[in-house]
Amino acid sequence: MKVAEAVGRALAASGVDHVFGVVGSGNFHVTNALVAAGSRFVAARHEGGAATMADAYARMSGTVAALSVHQGCGLTNALTGIAEAAKSRTPLLVLAAEATSPASNFAVDQDALARAVGAVPLRVTSAADAVGQARAAVRHALCARRTVLLNLPLDVQAEDVPDGVPDHVAPPDRPAAVVPEPGDIATLTGLLDAARRPVFVAGRGARTPGARDALAALADRYGALLATSAVARGLFAGDPGRSTSPAASPHPWPPN
């Protein structure tokens, strides 16, 4: 089995079930392997559109999405979408073929391009380590909430994976929920008790299961209005201008 196929299988087994992109000779085999292993490929007319679709899917699904692009120009075409994902801490995995000959017209410093927009550059460096490095890239994207560029050198992609290297790996564990310190909870409670016109602005994190109802209950308790950032738009649809009754809150809205 070639490295490209082993990487594609390992990524699918790690939970990457959607891959967006534009296929060229450099990323054909890894993309094909992902599809063969059960991932859905969504083709785009341009890498910029594919990057934006992958970013949106990852944000809304809460999973790691993949973007598959050709070496050099395929990656540069996608940079605006990659930059947006990186700045927004979207768990996105960019699979980019990488030219290994300096004489190639497609040879660019892909690590530098990733760093310039805030993404994390990683690389598959050998046939023996390819599966582990692919899985590590998924884990970093998921657990650190980062956009990761996984460079796939053309010569390494074509190598044979040694016998005994597993290509089916378990998905990485999801990061544990952050538990606030008791003192921080007491501080927040004190601020809410003293607030006369509280407004809760829900962001992307409020789209996690159960968060909407918890925020609504807290708003009821403190007489707060609910609003959202752009990425959580529509979260409180059906509750326009939400407020609590004066009898239920020590600080009724609107204030007297």
Residue range(s) defining the domain that contains residue 38: 3-157
List, for residues 130-165, the tens digit of each pLDDT value: 999 999 999 999 999 999 999 999 999 999 999 876
- Give me the percent of the chain exceeding a pLDDT of 70: 87
Average pLDDT, whole number, for the chain?
88
Both 48 and 118 in one domain: the answer is yes
> Over 50: is that where the pLDDT of 93 sits?
yes
Q: Please indicate, yes or no, if residue 116 is contained in any of the structural domains.
A: yes
Both 204 and 142 in one domain: the answer is no
> Over 70: is that where the pLDDT of 256 sits?
no
Q: Please indicate, yes or no, if residue 81 is contained in any of the structural domains.
A: yes
- Give me the percent of the chain exceeding a pLDDT of 90: 61
Q: Grade residue 254 by pLDDT with cuts at 50, 70 and 90.
A: very low
What mean pLDDT is predicted for residues 183-197? 90
Greater confidence, 2 or 233?
Answer: 2
Both 123 and 192 in one domain: the answer is no
> Over 90: is that where the pLDDT of 175 sits?
no
Both 142 and 215 in one domain: the answer is no
Give Cα 126 distance to the centre of its chain: 26
| Res 169: pLDDT | 67
d(CA 116, CA 96): 16
Both 128 and 197 in one domain: the answer is no
| Res 208: pLDDT | 73
Both 188 and 78 in one domain: the answer is no
Q: Please indicate, yes or no, if residue 254 is contained in any of the structural domains.
A: no
Q: Pick from 95, 92, 165: which is nearest to 126 by CA?
A: 165
Which DSSP string do the residues of the chain spell out, in sequence order? -BHHHHHHHHHHHTT--EEEE---TTTHHHHHHHHHTTPEEEE-SSHHHHHHHHHHHHHHHSS-EEEEE-TTHHHHHTHHHHHHHHHTT--EEEEEEE---TTSTT---HHHHHHHTT-EEEE---TTTHHHHHHHHHHHHHHTT-EEEEEEEHHHHTSBPPTT-----PPPPPPPPP---HHHHHHHHHHHHH-SS-EEEE-GGGGSTTHHHHHHHHHHHHT-EEEE-GGGTTTTTT-TT----GGG-SS-SS--
Q: Please indicate, yes or no, if residue 38 is contained in any of the structural domains.
A: yes
d(CA 70, CA 77): 10
Q: Please indicate, yes or no, if residue 126 is contained in any of the structural domains.
A: yes
> Over 70: is that where the pLDDT of 226 sits?
yes
| Res 246: pLDDT | 37
Both 110 and 227 in one domain: the answer is no
CATH of the domain at 75: 3.40.50.970
d(CA 220, CA 247): 11
Judge whether 27 and 67 are in contact, CB under 8 Å: no
Which of 43-57, 114-128, 221-235 is predicted with the least confidence, judged by mean pLDDT?
221-235
| Res 249: pLDDT | 41
Q: Please indicate, yes or no, if residue 128 is contained in any of the structural domains.
A: yes
> Over 60: is that where the pLDDT of 242 sits?
no
Q: What is the pTM of this model?
A: 0.77
Q: Please indicate, yes or no, if residue 127 is contained in any of the structural domains.
A: yes
Q: Please indicate, yes or no, if residue 133 is contained in any of the structural domains.
A: yes
| Res 250: pLDDT | 46
Task: Name the most confidently modeled range: 76-90, 99-113, 189-203.
Answer: 76-90
Judge whether 248 and 225 are in contact, CB under 8 Å: no
Both 124 and 219 in one domain: the answer is no
- Dig out the tokens for 136 from the structure: 């590590």
- Dig out the tokens for 208 from the structure: 């996690």
Both 214 and 106 in one domain: the answer is no
| Res 177: pLDDT | 65
Domain total of the chain: 2
